[in-house]
């Protein structure tokens, strides 16, 4: 199934909350290099539940696993990537990910602390002509159902840096959103997993995640 068709179908799902059969799944990106692509194990499942409740989406309750070089990637309109460590895309994987993103797919990279120095290099293999740009606080991604007047919320503290939301923009479309120094995935995990992340922070993380989903499904 073509990614563009999936996204068009997802718009119908947003508008028809009575449609009960799950339309599709969200997926987690499995990559090579030794980094913990499987980190934040309960994050995506909790985000799905939040979106089904708050946005009236109709996602399957469990996540899928999509390998970066696999054609299965094209079955999912939204791919989540996280981790702390090394990431390596070979030439075929980089080409496959590029085809997915330029064909209508969307990648959310969530730095779980330590991912930055690896993922920037690897995404250059995917889009040599593009660089990450910080989205302004008035970008539509921050004003979907939930409003974030100051941009990406800070969820989990590591080293005192401000949270930043970067994007790769291809032909005017955001194809990749990169949340840096925020750690949204920590906030999406089961409450209490990180005692320092308050209920308010967790709620903000889920709302920001829902904004990303909403943005993808309506743009």
Query: How far is it, in rounded angstroms, from Cα 20 to Cα 18?
Result: 6
Q: How large is the average pLDDT for residues 45-64?
A: 96
Q: Are 149 and 142 within 8 A, CB to CB?
A: yes
Instruction: For domain 3-218, say whether CATH 3.40.50.12140 is its number.
Output: yes
Domain spans in the chain, listed from the N-terminal domain onward:
3-218
Q: Which of 22-31, 145-154, 185-194 has the highest mean pLDDT?
A: 145-154
Q: Are 189 and 156 within 8 A, CB to CB?
A: no
Per-residue pLDDT at 176 exceeds 80: yes
Query: How far is it, in rounded angstroms, from Cα 154 to Cα 209?
Result: 13
- How far is C-alpha 179 from the geometric centre of its chain's CA atoms? 8
String of DSSP letters for 68-116: TTSGGGGG-S-EEEEESS--B--HHHHHHHHHHHHTT--EEEEE-SS-H
Per 3-state DSSP, what percentage of the chain is helix, strand, and coil (rounded to 5)?
A: 35, 20, 45
Query: How far is it, in rounded angstroms, from Cα 197 to Cα 176?
Result: 26
**Which residues make Cβ contacts (< 8 Å) with residue 85, sequence separation at least 6?**
33, 34, 35, 36, 114, 115, 118
> Mean pLDDT across the chain, nearest whole number?
90
Tokens standing for residue 22: 């799950």
Q: What is the pLDDT of residues 5-43, one digit of tens each?
A: 444 444 444 444 444 577 789 999 999 999 999 999 999
Q: What are the start-end ranges of the E strands in the chain?
A: 27-30, 64-67, 79-83, 107-111, 133-134, 164-170, 173-180
pLDDT at 23: 74
pLDDT at 20: 58
pLDDT at 61: 95
Task: Label residue 150 by pLDDT band (50, 70, 90).
Answer: very high
């Amino acid at each position: 199934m073509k990614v563009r068709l999936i996204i068009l179908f997802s718009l119908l799902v947003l508008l028809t909350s009575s449609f009960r059969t799950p339309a599709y799944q969200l997926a987690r990106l499995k990559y090579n290099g030794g980094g913990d692509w499987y980190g934040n194990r309960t994050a995506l499942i909790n985000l799905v539940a939040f979106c089904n409740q708050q946005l009236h989406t109709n996602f399957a309750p469990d996540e899928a696993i999509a390998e970066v070089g696999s054609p299965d990637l094209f079955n999912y309109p939204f791919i989540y990537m996280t981790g702390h460590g090394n990431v390596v895309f070979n030439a075929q994987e980089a080409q496959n990910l590029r085809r997915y993103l330029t064909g209508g797919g969307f990648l959310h990279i969530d730095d779980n602390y330590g991912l930055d120095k690896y993922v920037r290099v690897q995404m250059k293999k995917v889009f040599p002509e593009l660089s990450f740009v910080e989205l302004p606080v008035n970008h539509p991604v921050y004003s979907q159902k939930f409003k974030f007047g100051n941009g990406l919320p800070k969820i989990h503290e590591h080293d005192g840096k401000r949270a930043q939301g970067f994007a790769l923009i291809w032909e005017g479309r955001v194809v990749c959103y990169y949340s840096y120094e925020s750690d949204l995935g920590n906030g999406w995990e089961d409450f209490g997993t990180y005692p320092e992340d308050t209920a308010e922070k967790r709620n903000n993380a889920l709302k920001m995640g829902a904004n990303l989903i909403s943005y993808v499904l309506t743009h």
